[in-house]
């Protein structure tokens, strides 16, 4: 059965660390010690789009550890939902996911003004096939979304105090057959700068840009590449 859902997205507008740490955001943009990989600038090189901007290489999107929902990999749909729901554990994240799925039937959601959103009945097919827990809720350890890309949208940060976005893109697969289906979920994380401190904002923007650019120093398949990308992604997710 084909799902009738087409393209859907979830926006996760979050300050660095404030959601992942379950904090009030007071430590947002805290400075972190760079790893050895991050300190390596290497020889000057041109921007390599598929290493630094839109990362879709199989060695990344099929990383057996980081993309594992069962093992709570740091690039998995499960882990990201856990962070968005306050990093309070799998049970809370499961409720968060159930509530998200319910929003695709806006007529049943009292928080959505009448006529504001179109109904997406295809979500019933998705939820019907999604493996369930004993209590009937969806099982995030068996999430039917696979990673398609990790994306650097620094180009969106065109104003003072705004560094753009970091994104994770997932595609839906049939939970039974593994067939790719027509639904995309995008997690979008806004990367805030320092609007009250021009010098600090400029310095941090340079550091942040350099971290992405340093990815070009490593070959796909080099463990340092995935580790450096993990360091970058966990800084915003």
Measured distance CA(107)–CA(92) in Å, rounded? 24
Which structure tokens are listed for 148? 């398609």
Residue 45: what pLDDT?
A: 77
Contact 55, 150 (CB under 8 A): yes
- pLDDT tens over the chain, length 237 residues: 333 343 444 444 433 332 222 333 333 444 444 454 444 555 677 889 999 999 999 999 999 999 999 999 999 999 999 999 998 999 999 999 999 998 888 877 777 777 777 888 888 888 888 999 999 999 999 999 999 999 999 999 888 888 899 999 999 999 888 899 888 999 999 988 888 888 988 888 888 899 999 999 999 999 999 999 999 999 999
Residue 17 in any domain: the answer is yes
Render pLDDT for 52-86 as a digit per residue (tens, 0 to 9). 999 999 999 999 999 999 999 999 999 999 999 99
Measured distance CA(233)–CA(237) in Å, rounded? 6
Residue 169: what pLDDT?
A: 97
Residue 160: what pLDDT?
A: 84
Residue 2 in any domain: the answer is no
Residue 51 in any domain: the answer is no
Residue 32 in any domain: the answer is no
Nearest to 84 by CA among 183, 141, 168, 142: 168
pTM: 0.81
Measured distance CA(166)–CA(55) in Å, rounded? 11
Alpha carbon dihedral 20, 236, 200, 194, in 10-degree steps, equals -70
Residue 43: what pLDDT?
A: 60
Tell me the Ramachandran region of residue 152: left when phi exceeds 0, alpha when psi lies from -120 to 50, beta otherwise.
beta
Angle in degrees, CA 128, 132, 133, rounded to 5: 155
Residue 52 in any domain: the answer is no
What is the residue whose two structure tokens read 């404030």? 18
Contact 34, 228 (CB under 8 A): no
Residue 37 in any domain: the answer is no
Residue 38 in any domain: the answer is no
70: helix, coil or strand? coil
Radius of gyration of the CA atoms of the chain, in A: 19
Full domain range(s) for residue 219? 10-23+57-236
118: helix, coil or strand? coil
- In what helix (H) or strand (E) does residue 93 lie, and over which residues does it extend? helix 90-102
Contact 209, 178 (CB under 8 A): no
Going by their DSSP bridges, the two strands 10-11 and 180-192 should be labelled as: parallel
Number of domains in the chain: 1
Measured distance CA(55)–CA(184) in Å, rounded? 16
Which structure tokens are listed for 57? 């290489």
Residue 213 in any domain: the answer is yes
- In what helix (H) or strand (E) does residue 48 lie, and over which residues does it extend? none
Measured distance CA(174)–CA(236) in Å, rounded? 29
């Amino acid at each position: 059965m084909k799902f009738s859902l087409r393209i859907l997205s979830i926006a996760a507008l979050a300050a660095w660390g404030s959601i992942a740490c379950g904090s009030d955001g007071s430590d947002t943009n805290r400075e972190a010690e760079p790893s050895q990989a991050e300190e390596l600038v290497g020889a000057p090189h041109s921007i390599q789009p598929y290493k630094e901007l839109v990362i879709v290489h199989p060695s990344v999107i099929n990383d057996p550890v980081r993309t594992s929902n069962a093992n709570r990999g740091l690039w998995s749909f499960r882990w990201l939902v856990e962070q968005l729901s306050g990093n309070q554990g799998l049970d809370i994240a499961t409720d968060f996911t159930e509530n998200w799925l319910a929003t695709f039937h806006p007529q049943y959601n009292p928080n959505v003004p009448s006529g504001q959103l179109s109904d997406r009945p295809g979500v019933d097919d998705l939820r019907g096939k999604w493996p369930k827990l004993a209590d009937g809720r969806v099982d995030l350890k068996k999430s039917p979304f696979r990673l398609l890309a990790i994306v650097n949208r620094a180009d969106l940060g065109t104003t003072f105090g705004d560094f753009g976005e970091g994104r994770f893109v997932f595609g839906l697969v049939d939970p039974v057959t593994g067939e790719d289906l027509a639904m995309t979920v995008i997690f979008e994380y806004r990367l805030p700068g320092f609007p009250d401190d021009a010098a600090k904002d400029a310095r941090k923007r340079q550091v942040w840009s350099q971290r992405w650019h340093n990815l070009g120093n490593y070959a796909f398949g080099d463990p340092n590449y995935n580790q450096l990308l993990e360091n970058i992604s966990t800084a915003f997710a």
